[in-house]
Amino acid sequence: MTSFFNNVLRQIDEISILLENEYIDKKTFKKIISEIKKPQRIIKKTLTITSDNGKKISFQSFRAQHNNALGPFKGGIRFHLNVNEDEVKALSTLMSFKCSLAGIPYGGSKGGIKVDVSRFSQKELKKLSKAYAKSFSKYIGERIDVPAPDINTNAQIMAWMLEEYEKSVGYKSPATFTGKPIELGGSLGRNEATGRCGVFVLKEFAKKERLVPSKTKIAVQGFGNVGFWFSKFAKDSGFKVIAISDSSGAILNEKGLDPEKLNDYKREFGSFKEIAENKGFKFISNEDILELPVDILVPAALEAVINKDNAEKIKAKVILEMANGPTTFEAEETLLKNKKEILPDILCNSGGVTASYFEWAQNLQGISWSEKKVNEELKKYIVNAFNSVYSLAKKKKFTFRVAANYLSLKRIVDAIILRGFES
C-alpha cells in the first residue's frame, strides 16, 4: 500500500498541475511546490519513563512541522501504536492545508507518541505527557508551534504538558497549548467544536443537495470525541444516525440511534461489543459498518480505513470525512468512478483547529469568550469555507477535495511568494 505521506504528495501533485496556470513564473511555482512537499522539520525523540512497577520503558515520539508561511505551526499530538514518522509527516501537511482553507493564521504540524494507551495507568500517561513536553519544549511555543489534542489525547493531557512546558521555559504561556481545561485557559466550545462543525458542513451540504434530514441515513465509524459529538449533533439536527462503531465493532439500528445513550452505556459496559451483548443491539464488524447502504458514511477514527480493498464495496452516496486521511488516493479513484461524493477532511474536521485558534487568540489577549460567541464564530468560518469549496467545485467541475486542496495550496503558495521567495 502507498504510504500515507505518499498519498498526500499525490494530492499535491494533482493540484499543482491545475494551480500552475495561476502563476506566470512557473520556475518559482515549481520550486515552491517542491518545498511544500517536504516538512520543514521533523523532530524525533526517545522518551523514557519509570512504569508503575519500577521498570524503565521507552517510547518513540515525533513532531513534524510542515510549513509556517501562514503563521506558527499548529497541530495535535496523538498517542497511538500506529504513530510513526510517515504518519506525522502526512498529518502535518494536512494540517497546513486545513489551516489555510479555514483562513486561520497557522502552518501545519503534528506530533505523536507510539504507545498503546490501554496498557498504561493514568500515572504513567501523565509521566509520558510530561516527558514529551519537556523533550519538545525547545521546538514549541505560542509563536512557534502550538500543540492540541488528537487521537487518545485530551484536555487533561494538555494541562500536564502545559505545566511541564512552563516549568522548562520559566514563564506562563497558556497559548502554547490549545484544547486545555477551561480552568487553565481552555475555550468554551472547543471540546465539541470538531463534531459541531462537521454537522454544519452536513447541514449546508444537505441544503444545497436538497436532502431531507429525517430521510438521510448516516453511519459513523468511530466514537471518540469527534465521532460522539458529530453523531449527537447530527441526531439533534434531525438526521438518522443508524450505525456507530467503536474499536470493538458497530451497533446498528435502522430506526436511528441515540448517541448520548450509547455514551452512557459505553461508560457502563466499556465497549460497543459489551453494550450490544447486554442491551440486545444488532452488532456488526468495523469493516461492515463502512459497507452499509447508507446515504452518508462518516469515517471518524483513523486514516486509510477506506482503501483499495474495500473501496469497490462502499455503498454510501457521500463520504463525509471527519478523520484525517480516511480515504486513500487509490480508493478515491474507485469511489469517484462509482459516482460517490467525498466531503474532504480538511474541510469537515477543521472546526477543531478553528476553535483552537479562538482559544489561542483569547489566551494571547487574556480574555475569554462566551460559548455563544465561540459557536457563532465557528459557524461563520466553517460556512465560509464550505461555500468557497462548494462554489469552486461547481464552477470548475472539481471534486470537493480538489477544490479544497486548490484553495488551500494557493494560499500557502501566495504566502511564500509574498515573503520574498527566491528561486
Which residues contact ligand GLU (rule: CB under 6 A)?
A: 74-76, 148, 150, 178-179, 324, 349, 352-353, 356
Q: Are 345 and 150 in contact (CB under 8 A)?
A: no
Q: Which is nearer to ligand GLU, 251 or 407 (CB)?
A: 407
Q: Are 248 and 269 in contact (CB under 8 A)?
A: no
Q: What is each CA distance from 60 to 44, 81, 82, 113, 135, in whole angstroms?
A: 7, 10, 11, 6, 12
Closest separation in Å from C-beta 327 to ligand GLU:
16
Closest separation in Å from C-beta 268 to ligand GLU:
28
Q: Which is nearer to ligand GLU, 216 or 324 (CB)?
A: 324
* Residue type, position 230, single letter: F
Q: Which is nearer to ligand GLU, 75 or 107 (CB)?
A: 75
Q: Are 207 and 285 in contact (CB under 8 A)?
A: no
- Comparing CA positions, the residue from 109, 115, 110, 138 lying closest to residue 47 is 115
Say how far apart CA 187 and CA 355 lie, in whole Å.
Answer: 8
Q: Find the residue with minimal CB distance to ligand GLU.
A: 76
Task: Report angle CA 165, 168, 171 to the nearest 5 degrees.
Answer: 80
Q: Which is nearer to ligand GLU, 294 or 301 (CB)?
A: 301
Q: Which is nearer to ligand GLU, 124 or 150 (CB)?
A: 150
Say how far apart CA 199 and CA 186 lie, in whole Å.
Answer: 22
Say how far apart CA 409 and CA 17 lie, in whole Å.
Answer: 12
Q: Which is nearer to ligand GLU, 179 or 326 (CB)?
A: 179
Longest Cα separation, the chain = 65
Closest separation in Å from C-beta 421 to ligand GLU:
26
Closest separation in Å from C-beta 225 to ligand GLU:
10
Closest separation in Å from C-beta 70 to ligand GLU:
14
Say how far apart CA 60 and CA 84 lie, in whole Å.
Answer: 8
Closest separation in Å from C-beta 350 to ligand GLU:
7
Three-state DSSP at 331 gives helix
Q: Are 224 and 247 in contact (CB under 8 A)?
A: no
Q: Which cell numbers in the block locate residue 371?
A: 460559548
Strand ranges, E, within 209-367: 217-221, 240-246, 249-252, 282-284, 296-299, 318-320, 341-343
The 8-class DSSP code of residue 285 comes to -
- Comparing CA positions, the residue from 291, 235, 287 lying closest to residue 263 is 235
- Residue 295 makes CB contacts below 8 A (sequence gap 6+) with 211, 216, 217, 218, 316, 317, 318
Q: Please list the helix, strand and coil fractions of the chain in percent, rounded to the nearest 5, in that order.
A: 50, 15, 30
Closest separation in Å from C-beta 351 to ligand GLU:
9
Q: Please confirm, yes or no, whether 313 is among the known catalytic residues.
A: no
Q: Say which of 110, 130, 203, 232 is annotated catalytic.
A: 110
| 149 beta partners | 77
71: left (phi over 0), alpha (psi -120 to 50) or beta: left
Closest separation in Å from C-beta 74 to ligand GLU:
5
* Residues labelled as active-site residues: 110
